[in-house]
Chain A
Amino acid sequence: MVPDFEGAMTSPYPIAAIAGILIMVLSLAALLIWVERRLLALWQDRYGPNRVGPFGLLQVVADMIKIFAKEDWLPPFADKAVFIIAPAIIMVTVLLSFAVVPFSPGIIVVDLNIALLFFLGMSSLGVYSIVLAGWASDSKYSLLGGLRAAAQMISYEVFMSLSLMGVVLLAGSFRLSAIVEAQKRLWFIVPQFLGFVLFLIAGVAEARRSPFDLPEAEAELVAGFHSEYSGMKFGMFFVGEYLGVILISSMITVLFFGGWLGPWLPPIVWFLIKMFAFICFFILLRASLPRLRFDQLMSWGWKVMLPLALLNLIVTGAVVVAWR
């Protein structure tokens, strides 16, 4: 039997879908820079960027012009080829992940039957970007940042994928559109609450956001893995981080909050509302929490999160078997 590789939801106009989603996601990432700065400012009793354009919206444009116009500088001591490729890796892996995200019926590049595995694979590859950047910079701070990224990846990736297996068991598929369809009666946040919490935590670590921004850790490692980067290569890490936030928020929406499902409003609007709520949550986390030490993160990942993820998987499996 030929596996049902592509699902029914794949957009009939692939080029249009790719272009549309690329534009949407990239402009969202750019907008997010403004959103984050304004929201942080709001929570920190200050104004944030409010001078360029209405509400400071054009600040991003100004920053883009600046960053594009900067000298493309290569540190003489760096491993040049790897140094240049590293920031591209994160952009590529994150953007590729968006290919399988079902924003709403018809707005998806490819409705892959192993979409979830594809997402996990891409996110694992993304870490190479950080590790290689740290290594290629040939600077001690960057190296420490890269090492931390590797240590962090080992600690959270395991329970990240395990935490999602409960969802897969309930939906009976790795296909993201099928997972959304399976939530028509009940969002998976209810039966899979533990899985949700575990994935949320892993997702924050995956996006390297506070309190898991150890590879960057500006107060300790200055900027960690991207200390030596400037100009647009730095910009790619920067945008890559925001793309990561959007991606994780989208995945939480798809896996636990019924994706595009919702009454009255068009499906895409529902999706965006849910996604935006989680983006704000990410920013709120950054505004409120201190940073863990990486040995604490590791021991926490292995000693607490992994057993919990296994427990979640076993209980879900038992319930699914008993139900049938």
Chain B
Amino acid sequence: MVVAGITIADQLRHKLGESAVKLQHAADGIVTCWIARQNFHDALAYLKTDVEQPYRMLYDLTAIDERMRVHREGQPPSEFTVVYHLLSFERNEYIRIKVPLKRDQPPIDTITDLWPSANWYEREVWDMFGIRFHGHPHLKRILMPKTWEGYPLSKDHPARATEMGPFHLPDEKEDAEQEALRFKPEEWGMKPGRDGMDFIFLNVGPQHPGTHGVLRIVLQLDGEEIVDAVPEIGFHHRGAEKMGERQSWHTYIPYTDRIDYLGGVMNNLAYLMAVEKLAGIDIPPRAKVIRVMLSELFRIISHLVWYGTFAQDLGQLSPVFYTFNDRERAFGIIEAICGARMHPNWFRIGGVVQDLPKGWEALVRDFVKYLPPRLIEYDKEVMQNRIFKARTKGVGVFTTEEAIEWGVTGPNLRACGFEWDFRKKQPYSGYEQFEFDIPTGRHGDCYDRAVVRVEEMRQSLRIIEQCVDNMPEGTYKSVQPLACPPLKERTMHDIETLITHFLGVSWGPVIPPGEALGAIEATKGNNGYYLISDGGTTSYRTRIRTPSFAHMQMLPKLIRGRMVPDVFAVLGAMDYVLADVDR
């Protein structure tokens, strides 16, 4: 975007000097600037605060191991590149800053002084690539075990167990691993007590009914009051990003299903948007609307799980059974259309797997009619319950400014009163054609987050209804050559179509070199896939930016000074899944 005739790159050049900024083309159209390690901190500070219409959110921070990359035309030499994605709400656009590094250079500057949320991201980059950050408050492993050797996302680290030799766990090693898991308060700069009284260090998780998965939080308690907390993540880490580098573009789709495992096909959408930008594929209108309809169904499914479990976190036993029942009905539709339930793996490069089955309209219409009265019932049971209100109002409050500072997106951001929904602001997959409202809260507390999600279900129903009413005719998959697998009518007729089909499903399509970010308004916030193709059948680097990671990082800030039960109110209202945090 150009402000007053000057591009942001020009402004950066003006600030840092003509030669300091080097532009790179990206398939997604995001302004991509290479800035040397001496300058990048100033550049980021400038972009965050001084520039007109600033880039206030650190959207993502990651790195690329460039050593094996072939297609780097026009890019400065670099062995490891640190990539910063910033988001400006005023401009409604991203900017990508890349910093080239050599392997054996001294650490680069941390940006935790600019964004507190950079803390975990920089730890992850250190954990995965071995890049050190000067001035980081706690540069320790975050996703991998403390005892891990090597940096998994560097290209010289093996990806498969078969490349690593047999696994042994002798007693000494087991003891060492156990010892490494022991929480040592002094490592985190925590005092063991105050005024002659010892604090309790309560280990919550990784096996705990209130954490919804393998999350560990160490609470520093004075009685039941929380002095400080340290969330420890990584127990659900499965190396999804590394797998992206060995699966073909096509066969990686089922892995995405399992990132936000409540979001189902919506994960496919974020990934495929990036792939389709790289491949330059246009999606036929019918496929777009099918994608929107299924995504919105999954938004409802995910929110229903959240609704019931949130109430259960607060001690209400029944709603979870009701909402899971409703979710089961929605799964009935998903099953009829996709043949699977939680992980349908249903979207394909260029469209979807199959056309909708006969009779799908009736199923969807039934559900659209069925759910609203149930939601009214839950309003009375949960949202209007006075104990529920007492437990959630004024708990875990943050403001819009804090939310942006910490990279909060989705319903949690909207609960602060900031009307920002990527479906409206940066419409994708044809969302601009639908009528729906963006529900917002006002106080940014747990209750308002609940209000926003409940209303979102109603809006999703509106969108689904419009999908049924206006489903376009036509094909469900693009006919462009990179769409994979090709439409059935276009295979097995002659040797040419046979070969295309065979190569597409065996080797996988060859995606042209380039890089692209595909970001969507997922169930929990902004989910983005930053893909780099080196012109092969697999991705060179797959970066998954998940909302839960950013939200979870904010937890200690939200629960300091509160009581133990508030931890679970805050966690419940945050709506995360551990697979989405750890990937």
Contacts and interface: CB of A to CB of B under 8 A. Distances in A.
Q: State whether these chains interact.
A: yes
Interface of A: 40, 43-46, 140-141, 143-144, 147-148, 210-211, 213, 217-222, 286-296
Nearest to A221: B564
Contacts of A45: 321-322, 325
A45 B390 CA distance: 27
Most buried by B among A44, A213, A296: A44
A143 B564 CA distance: 13
Given A44-B317, A44-B318, 14 more contacts: A40-B317, A40-B318, A46-B321, A140-B202, A210-B315, A211-B387, A219-B568, A220-B565, A220-B567, A288-B318, A289-B387, A290-B387, A293-B390, A294-B224
B317 A217 contact: no
A319 to B, nearest CB: 31
B210 A287 contact: no
Given A140-B200, A219-B209, A219-B568, A287 B387 contact: no
A36 to B, nearest CB: 11
Nearest to B388: A290
A293 B566 contact: yes
Contacts of B491: none
B224 A290 contact: no
A286 B325 CA distance: 20
B456 interface: no
A290 B563 contact: no
Interface stretch (B122-130, B306-314, B459-467): B306-314
Contact of A210 (B203, B317, B391, B564): B317
Given A144-B224, A218-B209, A290 B564 contact: no
Nearest to B207: A222
Given A43-B318, A293-B391, A217 B565 contact: yes
B208 interface: yes
A143 B223 CA distance: 10
A221 B563 CA distance: 12
Most buried by B among A46, A218, A286, A291: A291
Contacts of B564: 144, 220-221
Contacts of B318: 40, 43-44, 287-288
Interface string B562-578: 01111110000000000
A220 B568 contact: yes
A219 B313 contact: yes
A290 B210 contact: no
Contact of A291 (B202, B223, B387): B387
B317 A287 contact: yes
Given A289-B387, A290-B387, A293-B565, A211 B224 contact: no
Nearest to B315: A291
A288 B316 contact: yes
Interface string B377-417: 00001000101101100000000000000000000000000
Contacts of A219: 209-210, 312-315, 568
A33 B266 CA distance: 43
A222 B315 contact: no
A44 B321 contact: yes
A224 to B, nearest CB: 11
A222 B387 contact: no
Contacts of B315: 210-211, 213, 217, 219, 289-291
Interface string B296-328: 000000000000000111111110011001000
Contacts of A144: 202, 224, 564
8 contacts: A46-B321, A147-B224, A217-B565, A292-B387, A292-B390, A294-B224, A294-B563, A294-B565
Nearest to A289: B387
Contacts of B325: 45
Contacts of B313: 219
B322 A291 contact: no
A215 B314 CA distance: 14
Interface of B: 200, 202-203, 208-210, 223-224, 311-318, 321-322, 325, 381, 385, 387-388, 390-391, 563-568
Contacts of B567: 220
A217 B311 CA distance: 13
Given A44-B322, A46-B321, A290 B565 contact: no
Given A140-B200, A219-B210, A220-B210, A292 B391 contact: yes
Nearest to B311: A290
Given A46-B321, A211-B315, A290 B209 contact: no
Nearest to B381: A288
Given A46-B321, A219-B209, A291 B314 contact: yes
Nearest to B395: A293
B347 to A, nearest CB: 33
Given A45-B325, A218-B209, A286 B568 contact: no
Given A45-B321, A46-B321, A222 B208 contact: yes
A5 B144 CA distance: 72
Ranked 9 nearest A-B pairs via Cβ: A291-B315, A290-B316, A44-B321, A290-B314, A290-B315, A290-B387, A219-B210, A293-B565, A44-B318
A143 B387 CA distance: 25
A258 B563 CA distance: 42
Nearest to A288: B318
B193 to A, nearest CB: 15
A143 B322 CA distance: 34
B563 A293 contact: yes
A287 B385 CA distance: 13
Contacts of B321: 44-46
A289 B224 contact: no
B197 to A, nearest CB: 14
B397 to A, nearest CB: 16
A216 to B, nearest CB: 10
Contacts of B223: 147
A141 B385 CA distance: 28
A44 B319 CA distance: 8
Contacts of B209: 218-219, 222
A293 B564 CA distance: 9
A208 to B, nearest CB: 12
A148 B224 CA distance: 9
A141 B387 CA distance: 24
Most buried by B among A43, A221, A290, A291: A290
A277 B387 CA distance: 24
A289 B390 contact: no
A290 B210 CA distance: 14
A26 B289 CA distance: 62
A29 to B, nearest CB: 21
Contacts of B224: 144, 147-148, 294
Contacts of A46: 321
A140 B315 CA distance: 20
B213 to A, nearest CB: 14
A143 B198 CA distance: 14
A67 B312 CA distance: 27
B51 to A, nearest CB: 45
A219 B315 CA distance: 7
A237 B219 CA distance: 28
Nearest to B392: A290
A218 B325 CA distance: 23
Contacts of B312: 219
